[in-house]
Structure 1
């Protein structure tokens, strides 16, 4: 990758980014489902440091994806605007899922730049925000910025998670080699320009990150994608048996993007001892095609 497209979060100082921001507006959106333990601290940091003190962030939204715990209350207490996914575009259906949550967060937010961060990060720090925003604010030709990080799991912290190393990275090498330099293709921390994000579809489930990466590359070009090193990321690790569905969804999306005839979008995942899981790849259209979308045409 071109050197200027690979950054380290520490390169960007918040005060300098405020000067570069000018009239550009920034939304931080946190998708959350049963993240009561961590979402409040993340939202409070963003609000106090980047909204109240600096004005770098104009809008903080926590998208509550059908939580059954105190996620919404914790986020509201921290000063975030809490939006229930079930209340957004309800006439189009109410489908839980990460991609659905991200798509709806783009619909309800207003920023020219949109930053997404997972809500289960236990060591969330200010450089997550400045690192993701930095490349977009210093270079107008960058449309999408993917975070990458080190995961303190086991002796080797260099690689991605199990789904990344065993599924996503091999699929990219086989089908989309132009994206092989993306360190963490499935990372949940990324940011982009609304004028580009609103023109790509969103897979409703866990395959959303793979779909967005491929589609943003096809739409805007690989040279418009930046990466930023966010350091160490500590979050909840799922047991292996819970990753089968996630891995299947990622594979469905990659194969479907390569050739729509390669894979069925509705399958049954059979795992002896765990029962059957029905997996259907569904996606939402680009928001500029959705009647009533207030951000279209910017």
Structure 2
């Protein structure tokens, strides 16, 4: 059965559920993506900074699937921001992925300390879109001030903003801003894996009694309930795993529905505490790295 899709603001259909490869070692990426494709995923999310685009490309080429059956998303890293630099970064990513056209190309982070470079990078995305080299463009980790500043000058409204969203950190103000502009909220860490690394924070979403109670009533796992919560509220989700059983489990979320009361109970778990890095703290000095040519 085909994966349900979300219609982006330029009419492109994007599978709601994607497969992520953040922190997946390059040597394990091809096998993990191949397994995801075998299970039924058709949306793969990677990034130049992950260092595993080539492994994704190998899995895509070996899959036997037609290119038009696949939705490939990747991200430009801050070291390659600027108009010309971003155009070249597209070439690097497309070459590693082994494809001529990228379905969704996004900026991985705002760069608040050098926002003009961020704007130059976005203008390059607009050029790539106009030239047909990408099908949709967007951003990631843009907070309201970054997004509002971008929207003041952008010719194309971003189709997607990929941000940290899970039951313990829901970013409702930002999601409301997305809704006003027709931007899809795409959730990274949608099952709250980032909460394991929160200093002094012992509670995990996977062990939350509210989520476990809902999971038990449906015969599903906590992870499946969190993915279903996000999907029913109109978000795109990008879970990741290298374990075949978990890859399959995360895909099996289209055969049940959460009630309005269950959705509200999960909504009430928001702590407003971020688990990942604050986008305001991302600078070239701290996070810059050379993205290899090949």
TM over 0.5: no
Instruction: Give the alignment's TM-score, normalised by structure 1.
Output: 0.32
Instruction: Give the alignment's TM-score, normalised by structure 2.
Output: 0.32
Higher helix share: 2
Higher strand share: 1
